[in-house]
């Protein structure tokens, strides 16, 4: 039997889904205990849905809406690879006098160097 398609939505308080079968009802995927949900994305094949808050990114399996992974951090952006086998997050951080960091990459080689002062 084929699974019922769902629509996912985001309000300022929760992440929810609505199944395409009668009676139509809203089901909370994450409730008000998960605060500040900033954005969510589906993986290209529809296998996963990921959302991010101020403190973590979480990946859910769309088949049963269970948690597949949770990654701590204040991420600004997230992406899935085209085959759903990689999840990428981007976290912005500030360089300060107390925490200097530098990275260098030489385009004609395959080396990446990092240093800490």
Q: What is the mean pLDDT of each run of 10 residues along the chain (117 residues)?
A: 68 73 76 74 90 88 87 88 87 67 60 55
Dihedrals phi, psi of 40, to nearest 5 degrees = -145, 155
CATH code matching the domain that covers 6-92, chosen among 2.30.29, 2.40.10, 3.40.1000, 2.60.200: 2.40.10
pLDDT in tens, 29-39: 766 666 788 88
Q: Which residue has the tokens 């403190």?
A: 55
The full set of domain ranges for the chain reads 6-92
Q: Tell me if 53 sits within 8 A of 71, measured CB to CB.
A: no
pTM for the whole thing?
Answer: 0.66
């Amino acid at each position: 039997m084929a699974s019922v398609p769902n629509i996912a939505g985001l309000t300022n308080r929760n992440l929810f889904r609505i199944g395409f079968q009668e009676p139509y009802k809203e089901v909370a995927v994450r409730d008000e205990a998960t605060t500040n949900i900033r954005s969510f994305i589906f993986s290209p094949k529809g296998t996963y849905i990921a959302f991010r808050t101020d403190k973590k990114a979480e990946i859910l399996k769309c088949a049963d809406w269970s948690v597949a992974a949770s990654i701590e951090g204040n991420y600004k952006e997230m992406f899935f690879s085209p085959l759903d086998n990689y999840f990428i997050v981007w976290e912005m951080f500030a360089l300060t006098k107390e925490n200097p960091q530098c990275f260098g990459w030489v385009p004609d080689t395959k080396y990446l160097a990092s240093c800490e002062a």
